[in-house]
């Protein structure tokens, strides 16, 4: 039982996935306008839940109301963003090559656009009960493009998830949408995840959470008779490179900025900066001093749940116990319940390179400062941590002139490169990339955030010599939706003449 | 030994892949213009090989010179097409969201574009010694976007592959390109493929060939500690639905069209129509008669090699030996050496559905006509064959009005839907989709043909608050390349103001 909800049985999973497949064949054919209205109605219904939803989420996650209200806003904004994307319409990447009958051999008329893959299964995150969960980005992007969604509720906020599910059910009843276009399952075992991912009707999977969970789902999908795409976003330690000139000039301000980022939301973000890397230089001591002072000041708050709280202490203590690791500061505040003490430590580049345990994410308000002998060692340390969601460079113009090649290194490591800023805070906009080389995500070619996140759930289909009246509206000669199309290899909104 | 070339050793594979990774870090930084010149120089050098290349390929593949000359033209055209794509420049999908400092929290400046994944390993096809092999579409698309390439030569045309490799080496020497940007390995064992795919430096894999080969490479990649993308195009039986009104009116012409498509190039195309499906109706007998007459007339030619020739006879005889399968016609011509007899057979829908052996590809000039009791059974037969590269619909306007829902079925099955045309002949243009739901390919979201085929080898990277002078030229405020960019969610070629 998960908060009074029984673990989904194999029979229930089968029934839900079969229904999802049936819903797919109806849902993919409803108009973009109807899908847009559906997404907006979901946003409205979530808002109609009012304080009850915030209270429930706060009770289950320990997150403060202000943060949850902000996250709810992000969630409803995302739903409305995808509705706007549907109304604009160019997301289908329509491409038209008109026939050239007198070519040898004759060139046929070819027209292509993106269509939905089928039922998408979403595994939400414990740390974002709204924006990366039940009606979060994965769900919104999949519903937008015509895929029905089955959410496996996160057991850490199962009641919150149930409330959001019921809001979506209300939305389904209010608009022209097939009944089973969104369904909800409870479960906490890997076996349940395996049954859902390996069900024949499942076409793709979205996951946000731990490496262990995300990689298991990837393996289940790859082991299917017909493998399916899995996009798992599995977190990151988000290395930050502190360059010498900025440490000389801006040590205190950089330290304050990063102390805030490390402890924001008790460090429970996949973009939390868990690793700081610098070369021994003037200003480094000053940086450490300010960082220490700032960490001391942070008021501890509860972590999401007991499991995350105990994992934080275990992993943090394991890291601190490693040879050569020295504590910089742990807040000395008294803690109770699930409160966590922000902690920063330091280690030499040489020892860091020898000890891969130090490369692992410590999920929580923790960061490790690696002090390197020189830039070559810094690069080695930086590269040793493998794929990342983000990496940050703190530097002056002089730093970037002196160390221009570092940007190349950053590109090989991360999906997003942050300059003189903190990685926490993931703006929802078309240019955002939230994903990265393995193990940050299972496929670095896709993003979990922004309108491009729909690309995970669609595939191109080409119509050869198709009669006009049988073509999807986006590919007909007239361009009634006035969308951007690649017409004979030129971008245009013109009709086909 | 493969045609005098020794099987690559583990040490050789390691050396080649290490060099490829080093070449990547240089190659990804050379200009688009230099990459375009490189691709064009490869095309020129292939042409400079003249008849010697055609003769070598003909000797190894038994393909007629005219076909090989055509395929060489396709290959060099593809290289030049990607050069043109690089000069135009919009393929990087540049996206810019400018900062909104007074938003709460402030919106940073975010800019995104596509960058290359790293070394790409290409496994070419036996049936296309040029266009899907050494300097074929996979290689050209990967080199275009900045990925070095390692080709594992197909053992059936190892000498041809070696000649093309040497032409590329000449091109490398002539233009500003790192020496090891293209390398070549020989081998014929699965173990060699496994070593290459699982090498730490390998970033992605392209394959064209059999299901057994393509699926094995997918499994090797998925089993890595850090899984990598594999795009395997694994062939297809390309079901063709013959609708009643067109059979009533056009039986003879449709039969002639399809007899030619089934036997084109001795049926050795992944788009060969291996399955015809019809409902019992007026005109079907007339279709069968003409098909039979046309198949009888085909002059047998040699198949690619002894392995394919014997596999054709084995699979074709196995299919004919199944209960309920009746021969329509096998050409009665005398055959010698590796010549193959074109063959068509028929079976009822009911029996087809019960016998999955009949769903398998018989690679060669063979097609099976499935005669169904009604449209429901036809749909069942059609869906039973799983993912396909193509599916075709032969019908009149009346047919498409009467059976409109069939297009929906076609979309679930295939990457390309052909109307009143044959699936053989894959036009190289932006609107082509060559790929399809599993098992036609390992990832239905990508195409092996056309400019979009580059999407297999690239990933987005986002630059947050990046100083102008450090940004890739495509993301700078000025738009010196005059490319299409998504600027604050609007497509434009304008500068950022």
Q: Residue B249 has what pLDDT? A: 97
Q: Which residues of A118-144 are buried (b: 16+ CB within 10 A; e: fewer)?
A: bbbbbbbbbbbbbbbbbbbbbbbbbbb
Q: Is A461 an 8 Å CB contact of chain B?
A: yes
Query: How many distinct helices (H) and strands (E) make up chain B?
Result: 15, 17
Strand A275-279, strand A414-419: pairing: unpaired
CB nearest B431 (choices: A97, A117, A459): A97
Other CB atoms within 10 A of residue A373 CB: 12
> What is the token pair recorded at A141?
């992007």
> What is the token pair recorded at A453?
């996140």
Chain A residue whose CA is closest to B466:
A419
Contact A96, A489 (CB under 8 A): no
User: Are the beta carbons of B414 and A461 separated by less than 8 Å?
Assistant: yes
**Backbone phi and psi for residue B388, each to the nearest 5 degrees, phi listed first:** -135, 150
Contact B467, B108 (CB under 8 A): no
In whole angstroms, what is the distance from residue B56 CA to residue B153 CA?
15
Contact A1, A7 (CB under 8 A): yes
Q: Is A112 an 8 Å CB contact of chain B?
A: yes
Contact A303, A312 (CB under 8 A): yes
Contact A301, A266 (CB under 8 A): yes
Strand B326-330, strand A204-208: pairing: unpaired
Q: Which fold has domain A239-419?
A: Aldehyde Dehydrogenase; Chain A, domain 2 (3.40.309)
Residues 406-445 of A with CB under 8 A from B: 407-408, 411, 414-421, 425, 427, 429-433, 435, 437-439, 442-445
Among residues A248, A263, A250, A242, the alpha carbon closest in space to that of A382 is found at: A242
> What is the token pair recorded at B350?
């009911």
Strand B414-419, strand A458-464: pairing: parallel
Q: What is the ipTM of this complex?
A: 0.97
* Residue B18 exposure: Cα atoms within 13 Å on the Cβ side: 6
In terms of C-beta density within 10 A (0-12 exposed, 13-18 middle, 19 or more buried), how is residue A326 classed?
A: exposed
Q: Before B236, cis peptide (omega within 30)?
A: no
Residues 227-256 of B with CB under 8 A from A: 227-229
Contact A347, A238 (CB under 8 A): no
Among residues A244, A258, A214, A219, the alpha carbon closest in space to that of A232 is found at: A214
CB nearest A462 (choices: B425, B432, B451): B432
Question: Tens of pLDDT along A199-220?
Answer: 999 999 999 999 999 999 999 9
CA B341 to chain centre: 26
Active site residue A233: yes
In whole angstroms, what is the distance from residue A195 CA to residue B133 CA?
39
CA-CA-CA-CA torsion sign (A26, A31, A37, A40): positive
CATH architecture, domain B10-234+443-458: 3-Layer(aba) Sandwich (3.40)
Among residues B168, B216, B166, B169, the alpha carbon closest in space to that of B196 is found at: B216
* H or E segment and range at residue B249: helix B244-263
3-state SS record for A377-425: HHHHHHHHCCCEEEEEEECCHHHHHHCCCHHHHHHHHEEEEEECCCCCC
How many residues belong to chain A?
497
Q: Which of B233, B361, B377, B474 is catalytic?
A: B233
> Which residues are registered as beta bridge partners of B302?
B339
List the single best residue of A27, A443, A464 to mutate versus B (max B Cβ within 10 A): A464
Does residue B233 come out as left (phi exceeding 0), alpha (psi in the -120 to 50 range) or beta? beta
User: Are the beta carbons of B462 and A404 separated by less than 8 Å?
Assistant: no
What is the residue extent of each domain of chain B? 10-234+443-458, 240-419
Give me the sheet containing B490-492, strands edge to edge. Answer: A326-330, A343-348, A366-372, A275-279, A239-242, A388-394, A414-419, B458-464, B110-116, B95-97, B485-487, B490-492
Q: Is A459 an 8 Å CB contact of chain B?
A: yes
Q: Residue A279 has what pLDDT? A: 97
Residues 173-232 of B with CB under 8 A from A: 218-219, 222, 226-229
The SS3 of residue A255 is helix
In whole angstroms, what is the distance from residue A487 CA to residue B431 CA?
9
Contact B268, B363 (CB under 8 A): yes
Active site residue B233: yes
What string of pLDDT tens digits covers the 497 residues of chain A? 777 899 999 999 999 999 999 999 999 999 999 999 999 999 999 999 999 999 999 999 999 999 999 999 999 999 999 999 999 999 999 999 999 999 988 999 999 999 999 999 999 999 999 999 999 999 999 999 999 999 999 999 999 999 999 999 999 999 989 999 999 999 999 999 999 999 999 999 999 999 999 999 999 999 999 999 999 999 899 999 999 999 999 999 999 999 999 999 999 999 999 999 999 999 999 999 999 999 999 999 999 999 999 999 999 999 999 999 999 999 888 888 899 999 999 999 999 999 999 999 999 999 999 999 999 999 999 999 999 999 999 999 999 999 999 999 999 999 999 999 999 999 999 999 999 999 999 999 999 999 999 999 999 999 999 999 999 999 999 999 999 999 999 999 999 99
Chain B residue whose CA is closest to A412:
B117
* Residue A456 exposure: Cα atoms within 13 Å on the Cβ side: 35
Strand B204-208, strand A490-492: pairing: unpaired
* H or E segment and range at residue B343: strand B343-348
**B10-234+443-458 and B240-419 agree in CATH topology:** no
CB nearest B464 (choices: A419, A470, A484): A419
In whole angstroms, what is the distance from residue B229 CA to residue B211 CA?
17
Q: Map tokens 């390691």 to a residue.
A: B14
Contact B144, B114 (CB under 8 A): no
User: Are the beta carbons of A459 and B437 separated by less than 8 Å?
Assistant: yes
- Can you give the pTM of this predicted structure? 0.97
Contact B420, B264 (CB under 8 A): no
Other CB atoms within 10 A of residue B258 CB: 27
In whole angstroms, what is the distance from residue A72 CA to residue A54 CA?
8
CB nearest A459 (choices: B117, B218, B445): B445
Contact A186, A156 (CB under 8 A): no
Maximal C-alpha separation, chain A: 83
Q: Residue A194 has what pLDDT? A: 98
Q: Which positions ≥6 away from B158 have C-beta within 8 Å?
A: B2, B3, B5, B60, B186
Q: Residue B116 has what pLDDT? A: 98
Distances (CA, A) of A289 to A284, A293, A298: 9, 6, 15
Q: Map tokens 């330290």 to a residue.
A: A255
Distance from CA of B439 to the nearest CA of A (A): 7
Q: Before A109, cis peptide (omega within 30)?
A: no
CB nearest B467 (choices: A419, A427, A461): A419
Q: Residue B329 has what pLDDT? A: 96
Select from 3.10.20.90, 3.40.309.10, 3.40.720.10, 1.10.1040.10 the CATH code of B240-419: 3.40.309.10
% of chain A residues with pLDDT over 70: 100
In whole angstroms, what is the distance from residue A69 CA to residue A85 CA?
24
Distance from CA of B327 to the nearest CA of A (A): 31
Maximal C-alpha separation, chain B: 83
In whole angstroms, what is the distance from residue B288 CA to residue A107 CA?
29
The SS3 of residue A236 is coil
What string of pLDDT tens digits covers the 497 residues of chain B? 777 899 999 999 999 999 999 999 999 999 999 999 999 999 999 999 999 999 999 999 999 999 999 999 999 999 999 999 999 999 999 999 999 999 988 999 999 999 999 999 999 999 999 999 999 999 999 999 999 999 999 999 999 999 999 999 999 999 989 999 999 999 999 999 999 999 999 999 999 999 999 999 999 999 999 999 999 999 899 999 999 999 999 999 999 999 999 999 999 999 999 999 999 999 999 999 999 999 999 999 999 999 999 999 999 999 999 999 999 999 888 888 899 999 999 999 999 999 999 999 999 999 999 999 999 999 999 999 999 999 999 999 999 999 999 999 999 999 999 999 999 999 999 999 999 999 999 999 999 999 999 999 999 999 999 999 999 999 999 999 999 999 999 999 999 99
């Amino acid at each position: 039982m998960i908060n009074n909800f029984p673990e989904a049985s194999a029979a229930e999973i089968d029934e839900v996935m079969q229904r999802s497949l049936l819903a797919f064949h109806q849902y993919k054919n409803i108009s973009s306008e109807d899908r847009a209205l559906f997404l907006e109605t979901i946003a409205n219904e979530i808002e109609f839940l009012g304080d009850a939803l915030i209270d429930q989420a706060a009770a289950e996650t320990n997150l403060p109301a202000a943060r949850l209200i902000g996250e709810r806003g992000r969630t409803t904004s995302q739903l409305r963003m995808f509705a706007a994307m549907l109304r604009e319409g160019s997301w289908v990447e329509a491409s038209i090559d008109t026939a050239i009958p007198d070519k040898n051999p004759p060139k046929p008329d070819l027209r292509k656009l993106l269509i939905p893959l089928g039922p998408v299964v979403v595994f939400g995150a414990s740390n974002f009960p709204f924006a990366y969960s039940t009606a979060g980005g994965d769900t919104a992007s999949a519903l937008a493009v015509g895929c029905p969604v089955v959410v496996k509720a996160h057991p850490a906020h199962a009641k919150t998830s149930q409330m959001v599910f019921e809001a979506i059910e209300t939305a389904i009843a209010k608009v022209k949408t097939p009944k089973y276009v969104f369904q909800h399952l409870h479960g906490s075992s890997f076996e349940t995840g395996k049954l859902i991912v390996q069900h024949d009707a499942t076409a793709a999977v979205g996951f946000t959470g731990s490496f262990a969970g995300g990689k298991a789902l990837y393996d289940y999908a790859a082991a299917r008779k017909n493998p399916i795409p899995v996009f798992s976003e599995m977190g990151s330690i988000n290395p930050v490179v502190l360059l010498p000139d900025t440490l000389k000039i801006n040590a205190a301000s950089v330290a304050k900025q990063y102390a805030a980022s490390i402890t924001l939301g008790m460090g429970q973000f996949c973009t939390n900066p868990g690793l700081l890397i610098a070369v021994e230089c003037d200003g480094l001591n000053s940086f450490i001093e300010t960082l220490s002072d700032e960490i001391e000041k942070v008021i501890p708050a509860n972590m999401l749940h007991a499991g995350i709280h105990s994992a934080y202490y275990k992993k943090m203590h394991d890291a601190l116990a490693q040879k050569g690791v020295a504590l910089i500061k742990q807040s000395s505040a008294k803690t109770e319940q699930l409160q966590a003490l922000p902690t920063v430590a330091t280690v030499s580049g040489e020892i860091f390179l020898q000890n891969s345990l130090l490369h692992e994410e410590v999920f929580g308000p923790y960061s490790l400062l690696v002090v390197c002998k020189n830039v070559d060692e810094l690069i080695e340390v930086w590269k040793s941590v493998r794929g990342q969601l983000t990496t940050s460079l703190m530097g002056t113009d002089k730093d970037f002139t002196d160390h221009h090649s570092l940007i190349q290194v950053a590109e090989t490591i991360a999906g997003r490169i942050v300059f003189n800023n903190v990685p926490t805070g993931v703006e929802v906009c078309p240019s955002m990339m939230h994903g990265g080389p393995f193990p940050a995500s299972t496929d670095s070619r896709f993003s979990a955030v922004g309108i491009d996140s729909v690309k995970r759930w669609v595939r191109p289909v080409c119509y050869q010599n198709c009669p006009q009246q049988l073509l999807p509206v986006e590919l007909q000669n007239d361009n009634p939706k006035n969308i951007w199309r690649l017409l004979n290899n030129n971008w245009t909104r013109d009709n086909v003449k």
